[in-house]
Chains A and B, each alone.
Chain A
Amino acid sequence: DAGITQSPRHKVTETGTPVTLRCHQTENHRYMYWYRQDPGHGLRLIHYSYGVKDTDKGEVSDGYSVSRSKTEDFLLTLESATSSQTSVYFCAISEETEGVDGYTFGSGTRLTVV
């Protein structure tokens, strides 16, 4: 979907190095989310944001931090990458509506930690 892009699409990094993944949206949506996808676990929420500078932890936040200095950008940082963080990372955005419309997802970032 052209309204949300993730970068990079693929990355290989070494254990112990910091890594930052970027999510960019052009929809002006308030809510943004970072998930990781692993076999047998589905998608698990890492962090989410409900506005500029407003973020909160998800269920698997250890070892990750986020920042949102602008509405359109949500950054995920692995402070010191470990092999257990090898995964596919998805960003998602959501409108603030009375009902729940669900998410729009980015195409994902495949991260390999060696």
Chain B
Amino acid sequence: EPEVTQTPSHQVTQMGQEVILRCVPISNHLYFYWYRQILGQKVEFLVSFYNNEISEKSEIFDDQFSVERPDGSNFTLKIRSTKLEDSAMYFCASSEVRGRAKNIQYFGAGTRLSVL
């Protein structure tokens, strides 16, 4: 069964450092997403990406964040200067379609980001 894969599973970094989280969405999917989940809290939307551009972003997704699809398979989330409060699980998701009537998003296993 096709799945979304994320690497690394755990990333430890120092405050102020740049990190890049990587994702390989399901191959025939066109819509890509990043979410985060702070320990013990709900999953929060960060950004969606379609046709090589951001289609929607949340207030969390400020200038420190960027996304890119550098090639035909990878989808990355970059945090330029990490802060302690960026520590969280980051989930990548993808969907075949999107819309208010149908949008099944399939999630990867996540990358745990620990900022020290």
Are A and B associated in one complex? no
